[in-house]
Amino acid sequence: MLGCLMISVKDTVEVDFNVSRHLEAEFASTDWNFLILHYLGLDHVGHIGGRQSILMAPKLKEMDDVIKRIHMNSILDQENSDSHTLLVVVSDHGMTDGGNHGGSSYEETDSLALFIGHGVEESNYSPYDHNEAFQVDIAPTLALLFGVPIPKNNIGVLLTKLFDSLTDDQRLRSLELNSWQLLRLLKAHLPGLHCGESSCYSCEKGLETNVPTSEAKQRLCYLFSKAISAHNSWQFRQHSDFISADINYFQVAAESYNDFLRNASEWLSHRATDKPVNVLMSAIIMMLVSSVLLMGIVFCLFRRVHFAQVGCCSQLEDPYKILHLDEVFVFIVIFLHVLSLGASSLVEEEQYTWHFLTSTLYLIFLSRTIESLLKRPNSVTLQNKDDKTVLPHSSPTDARNNSGHKFTKFRPSKINNHGTCRLFSVVVVLICGRLLRGWHQGGVNWIYLPDISKLLVHAGTSTIKVCQILSLFAIIILGSHAIFKLKSTTNFVYGVWSSLLLSAFLVMLHTMENHIYDLEPMNLSTTSIAQVFYVVASTSAVLTFLASPWIFPVYSMEKQMVYQVRSNSCSTKQRDSFLLSIRETTYLIGTTYTAFWCLLQLLIQQPINAIPILLIYLQILFSIIYFSADRSFHRQWVEVAAIYFLGLAGHFGLGNTNSLATIDVAGAFIGISSHSAVLSGILMFVITYASPSLSYLSMVMYIDMKDITFISSTHEYEWSIFLEKMIALPCLLPLLFNSLVLTSFTIILLLMRNHLFVWSVFSPKYLYVCAATVCVYIGVFIVAATGLYTYSVFCFRTRNPQEKCPQVLRDNVISHSQTNVISQ
């Protein structure tokens, strides 16, 4: 076997050159009977640039020259002009313009089967004529031509035209062997099938695929017995002197075999899709019960949070009795999405559904923001316990000053600043969403329309690399700004920032070294650069997760309690500081997660997707800023749903669809120096679900922006309080949304199992839904593990919070209380 150990899908030259350079020596040698030439360059060219790539024509010419050399050396030079040597040229799949395959479109199923040899009769071939055959028919055809057994589970039918050069006896023998192969499979599916019984010969009806099993047995048995009988009759006539001019026994036998083969193959293909409906219904019932239970848990959790907020401030009771427009629309989004899964056209074009629904939700946010800005702010505003929330870069003093339980003067300028911040943030999200909408024309019906990605490809590789570098710098600036918004910029924070810069530098090196559209050999240094990046990024993220809770300080309460001696609230203030430390830690961890994830995507995604990665990152960051500008503006479940919807819209904004053809195979081999199905599969999963995963990781940043009033007002550090108020909804809502989609589409798939597009539309979509379920579980696990680990570490570091109050301040509190008594 001649080949190359390099498996990089970006290599289009060296991988084929290492095969071709051995051809002359192997052709001159006589010590082999079987030669495998493993050419991969053509497939790599297709994955890189699609079927219309500028590299496609030169590579096809190169492969044509190789076939010509094989034909000239191995066939035409043979002395015997009647040689039975057959040259077979086949392709296993086609390729889309996007550089992928696996779906059912014409571009993906357009493959070649070319048979060249002295024994093949010349036909009146026209370039406008297409003799089509099923790919499953290639295996039995080649097996019989090579004289080897047919694969035991193959249900194909041999291509009879390729056997016309054989004798009549050989042609009927080939049909007989193919028939026995399918009969063996029929007996495995139809126990008790015994052909040759007299009852079989009485059935002369055509075979249907939806007949009862008993009728199928009789009809299939009849067709097989008829073919065997006709074959025996032909053999008898060959060995006798009787010649009939009225009946062509060979033609009757061949047609009988073909009739049986065609019907048996069709019945077996349908049989492969028959599933036990009762078992599937039982599984669906279990899924429904699970979804209902999860929905009940989320509803009960929401009621607990709602009543806690109402009890904390009675003035907030009225707004919570009604559903605002954004809250109603979230329910509408879920309902419309589930409803759209029943239409094949909407499944094919799902990207338009999510772009429209997500943009509409943020337009509602924009409307509410403008409406709040147009209202004249009151000079006196209610300042309740909810306003105790502080950003990670706020000081404990800010938390103290915002912790009052009474009316407080609130400057209108501060309200306007918050409103302007919200307005700017939601506008940025909408602009980024519109750019994502026009970046890729995905789906099936409109993929040929011009879009931004096609314009950049036509502009050339230099333009694409400029976009990559600009995206890289923008992500680094955003990530660095987010990191240094922390109040505590310790050496550890600088270390995290340094690792972020190092990772960005490695991504830039890989971008500059990668000759993805050039006719140059793959530079092996790019593999090493990618491997170093994987080590640096993963190590930095894991160390930040593990070490941050131990390194960040638990803020001292001494300064706060000096100003709070009149209120016996030492433990409450200590809890405020305790939670502020948790929030700074989760903020740093979440920022690290999202920044490194974006850098990873810049490394392994298609270069054309560099700008979309930046746009999705901007959408999520500005959404978090929008939600944190005024924490009483939207309910928490609406905010979580909005971030979740952004991840789904971004998934399609990166060029993904519900067709398996859009799965990016090229990036799955970046940084892999030896074959590993597990590693390449993981990278393929990471590439495909880049945007949803980023939205889940950003939940770690989001929970640090939320209200901590209910936790700080409790008398003890309780796990249940932390779970309910900080990480419950960000974890449970994605699970609930995904559970509803998974259960609904499972029911739809069962109902559509006989639909015309069940294999081309609904089945690939179900694979995506199942993979999305895995993505949700992984993302929720990371969010929950980060929150619980951080909280448990800080609890361990402050196991006796009451002992943290300095004795001097306690004496001051007691002394001040005594003074009040004397004064009274």
Residue bearing tokens 């009146």 = 124
What is the per-residue pLDDT for 740?
93
Are 268 and 189 within 8 A, CB to CB?
A: yes
Contacts of 492 (CB under 8 A, 6+ apart): 547, 548, 551, 552
Task: Say whether pLDDT at 798 is over 70.
Answer: yes
| Residue among 544, 543, 513, 517 at smallest CA distance from 530 | 513
Residues 610 and 721 in one domain: yes
Q: Quick check: is 310 in a domain? A: no
Give the model confidence (pLDDT) of 714-742 as tens digits: 444 456 666 777 788 888 999 999 999 99
3-state secondary structure string, 119-132? Answer: CCCCCCCCCCCCCC
Per-residue DSSP letters for 685-708? Answer: HHHHTHHHHHHHHHHHHHHHTS--
Give the integer Cα–Cα distance in Å for 493 and 392.
Answer: 13
Task: Say whether pLDDT at 790 is over 80.
Answer: yes
Question: Across residues 468-475, what is the average pLDDT?
Answer: 94
Averaged pLDDT score across all residues of the chain: 77
What is the per-residue pLDDT for 153?
86
Residues 77 and 206 in one domain: no
Residues 468 and 612 in one domain: yes
| Residue among 391, 403, 601, 612 at smallest CA distance from 511 | 601
Residues 261 and 402 in one domain: no
Give the integer Cα–Cα distance in Å for 507 and 475.
Answer: 12
State the pTM of this model: 0.73
Residues 197 and 285 in one domain: no
Residue type at 616 in one-letter notation? I
Report how far apart the first and last C-alpha atoms of the chain are (Å, whole number): 101
Residues 454 and 536 in one domain: yes
Give the integer Cα–Cα distance in Å for 239 and 244.
Answer: 13
Q: Quick check: is 281 in a domain? A: yes
Question: Across residues 376-392, what is the average pLDDT?
Answer: 43
Question: Across residues 141-164, what is the average pLDDT?
Answer: 86
Q: Quick check: is 801 in a domain? A: yes
Contacts of 465 (CB under 8 A, 6+ apart): 511, 512, 607
Q: Quick check: is 123 in a domain? A: no
Residue 47 pLDDT grade (very low, low, confident, very high; cuts 50, 70, 90): confident
Task: Say whether pLDDT at 646 is over 90.
Answer: yes
Give the integer Cα–Cα distance in Å for 502 and 512.
Answer: 15
Question: Across residues 306-333, what is the average pLDDT?
Answer: 65
615: domain range?
A: 277-301+317-811
Residues 63 and 146 in one domain: no
If one compares 112 and 775, the residue with the highest pLDDT of the two is: 775
What is the per-residue pLDDT for 558?
41
Structure tokens at 255: 């047609």
Residues 43 and 183 in one domain: no
What is the per-residue pLDDT for 631?
60
Residue type at 679 in one-letter notation? L
Give the model confidence (pLDDT) of 226-266 as tens digits: 888 888 888 887 777 665 555 677 888 888 888 988 888 88
Structure tokens at 280: 């599937």
The number of domains in the chain is 3
Q: Quick check: is 117 in a domain? A: no
Question: Across residues 329-334, what is the average pLDDT?
Answer: 91
Biggest distance spanned by C-alpha atoms of the chain = 139
Task: Say whether pLDDT at 589 is over 50.
Answer: yes
Please identify, among 111, 145, 166, the residue that sits at the C-terminal boundary of a domain.
Answer: 111
Give the model confidence (pLDDT) of 180-199 as tens digits: 988 888 888 887 777 754 44
| Residue among 445, 466, 444, 442 at smallest CA distance from 454 | 442
Q: Quick check: is 457 in a domain? A: yes
Contacts of 468 (CB under 8 A, 6+ apart): 511, 602, 607, 610
If one compares 564 and 650, the residue with the highest pLDDT of the two is: 650
Q: Quick check: is 824 in a domain? A: no
Residues 48 and 152 in one domain: no
Question: Across residues 403-407, what is the average pLDDT?
Answer: 36
Per-residue DSSP letters for 123-171? Answer: ----TT------GGGHHHHHHHHHT-PPPTT------GGGGTTS-HHHH
**Distance between alpha carbon 605 and the CA centroid of its chain, in Å?**
12
| Residue among 357, 369, 504, 352 at smallest CA distance from 428 | 369
DSSP class of 240:
S
Residues 567 and 599 in one domain: yes
Are 434 and 614 within 8 A, CB to CB?
A: no
Q: In 10 A of CB 452, how many CB atoms? A: 17
**Which contiguous run of DSSP H or E holds residue 117?**
strand 113-117
Contacts of 668 (CB under 8 A, 6+ apart): 9, 604, 680, 681, 683, 684, 687
Are 616 and 650 within 8 A, CB to CB?
A: yes
What is the per-residue pLDDT for 489?
72
Residues 14 and 84 in one domain: yes
Question: Across residues 283-289, what is the average pLDDT?
Answer: 91
Residues 60 and 193 in one domain: no
Give the integer Cα–Cα distance in Å for 33 and 566.
Answer: 97
Please identify, among 111, 144, 179, the residue that sits at the C-terminal boundary of a domain.
Answer: 111
Residue 216 pLDDT grade (very low, low, confident, very high; cuts 50, 70, 90): confident
Task: Kindly provide the b/e burial profile for residues 533-554, where b requires at least 16 CB atoms within 10 angstroms of the residue's own CB.
Answer: bbebbeebbeebbebbbeebeb
Give the integer Cα–Cα distance in Å for 505 and 272.
Answer: 52
What is the per-residue pLDDT for 103?
64
Are 734 and 327 within 8 A, CB to CB?
A: no
**Distance between alpha carbon 196 and the CA centroid of its chain, in Å?**
53
Are 776 and 738 within 8 A, CB to CB?
A: yes
Q: Quick check: is 159 in a domain? A: yes
| Residue among 750, 474, 795 at smallest CA distance from 617 | 474
If one compares 304 and 709, the residue with the highest pLDDT of the two is: 304
